[in-house]
Structure 1
Amino acid sequence: MARVSQEHLDARRRQIIDGAARCFARDGFHGTSMQGVLKEVGLSAGAVYRYFSGKEDLIAAIADEAFTSIRLAFQEAADATPPPTPDVLLGRVLRGLFSGEVCGLDGRQFAALIVQVWSETLRNERLAATFDDGFSTMRVVWADVVEGYRKTGVMRADVPADHVARAMMAAAQGFFAQMALFGDAEPEVLENGLRGLMSMDLQKIG
């Protein structure tokens, strides 16, 4: 019997993950059955179960890939010295994430998947652990970005770096929620909004 190449195995696993991600983004985790996934990917049960034990295993694999993609995207964008301003940084990352590179999903599909993953972490300990790890790592990445701003003298130093990091992360999370719920948001919306807030002259307030 001919030996199956690693490239073939990787391509088949990729096919299953992408198909399942489309199902989950379209029908939700609880509205998607393994039969639906099998139909979406056009494979037999045996072929799919060779890679994944069931729906929970698929959800975990997709969630891990999504979290990793987000973390790496921010890390890559933040590696510049000095780092780009928050509006540019977030816009750059979101464009990459919404380009279809993650599980082949478009912007709204990807955002819908992320919001569902957040919800699923409330009941799934395995996902919650993955999410906690990703969130902690992201806080460190963003805190490093804040330190980069401070070193160049463009940001005041009297606010904890972690607080600034979490505020910027919240902006990105809010954008994902808007995209998933309404579908009318584009990275330019967040970029322009942040740019407007950053342009405020605080000396004229109060």
Structure 2
Amino acid sequence: MPRVSQAHLDARRQQILDAARRCFVVDGFHATSTRDILRVADLSAGAFYRYFDSKDAIVAAIASECLDQLTNGFDAALGSGTERPLDQALDEVFDVVDRLHRTQDLSKLIVTVWAESVRIPELARLFNEAFGRVRLLTQRAIEQQRDRGLLSPDTSSDGLARVLVGALQGYVIQNALLDEPRAREYRESVHRLIS
């Protein structure tokens, strides 16, 4: 029997993840069955179980990919060596969220997956790690701004970082749930908060 290449295996796994994303965005996690995912992916149950042992494992893989994309956006905007103003860096992060929302329905997907983190400890751990990393990057950027005199000397870098991460989470939720999230007004308000 010919050996299947790693590229083929990776493509098949991604096919399952993409199908699951589509199903979860349309029907939510609990209303989506493994059979639904297989139908959308056009695969057999054997192919599914070669890559994932449960629907929860798919959710964990999707969450990991989503969170990696978000944290990579934060790394690019706020990582070491960046000297841009905090509001400009946060705009870059909001741009990443907007792009992922438009191209992958990220906001709807992340809210669906977020809800599952209440019952799946592995997901809770992934979210805690990702947002902990984002908070530390934001905190470091706030400290740089404060050291350059762009923020009040008594600004709590930890406190403001938590508020800004909460603002990002709120932005994701509003993109997912509101008919008219009013992104421009939201961003302008975050800018005023920082200044």
The yes-or-no answer on 1:170 pairing with 2:175 is no
The yes-or-no answer on 1:114 pairing with 2:115 is no
2:117–2:124 CA contact under 8 A, matched in 1: yes
**CA displacement, residues 6-53 of structure 1 (integer Å, 9 cap, x when unaligned):** 111111111111111111111111111001100111111111111111
Letter aligned with residue 83 of structure 1: R
The yes-or-no answer on 1:151 pairing with 2:152 is no
Greater shift, 132-141 or 43-52, is seen at 132-141
Q: For this pair of structures, how many residues does the alignment match?
A: 194
The yes-or-no answer on 1:52 pairing with 2:52 is yes
1:73–1:93 CA contact under 8 A, matched in 2: yes
Structure 1 residues 196, 132: closer, same or farther in 2, change over 3 A? closer
Structure 1 residues 134, 121: closer, same or farther in 2, change over 3 A? same
CA RMSD of aligned residues (A): 2.0
Letter aligned with residue 69 of structure 2: S
Distance 1:196 1:158 in 2: 17
**Structure 2 equivalent of residue 204 of structure 1:** none
Distance 1:93 1:107 in 2: 15
Distance 1:69 1:156 in 2: 32
Distance 2:194 2:141 in 1: 16
Using the size of structure 2 for normalisation, the TM-score is 0.89
Letter aligned with residue 112 of structure 2: Q
The yes-or-no answer on 1:82 pairing with 2:83 is yes
Using the size of structure 1 for normalisation, the TM-score is 0.85
1:91–1:191 CA contact under 8 A, matched in 2: yes
Cα drift, residue 131 of structure 1: 1.4
More helix by share: 2
**Structure 1 equivalent of residue 41 of structure 2:** 41
Structure 1 residues 16, 84: closer, same or farther in 2, change over 3 A? farther
The yes-or-no answer on 1:67 pairing with 2:67 is yes
Cα drift, residue 58 of structure 1: 0.3
**Structure 2 equivalent of residue 185 of structure 1:** 181
Distance 2:3 2:60 in 1: 29
| Secondary structure in 1 matching 2:3 | coil
Distance 2:120 2:166 in 1: 22
Structure 1 residues 186, 78: closer, same or farther in 2, change over 3 A? farther
Cα drift, residue 67 of structure 1: 1.4
The yes-or-no answer on 1:125 pairing with 2:126 is no
**Structure 2 equivalent of residue 96 of structure 1:** 96
Greater shift, 27-36 or 129-138, is seen at 129-138
Structure 1 residues 136, 85: closer, same or farther in 2, change over 3 A? closer
Distance 1:124 1:61 in 2: 13
Structure 1 residues 65, 186: closer, same or farther in 2, change over 3 A? farther
Structure 1 residues 16, 198: closer, same or farther in 2, change over 3 A? same
1:81–1:148 CA contact under 8 A, matched in 2: no
Letter aligned with residue 96 of structure 2: G
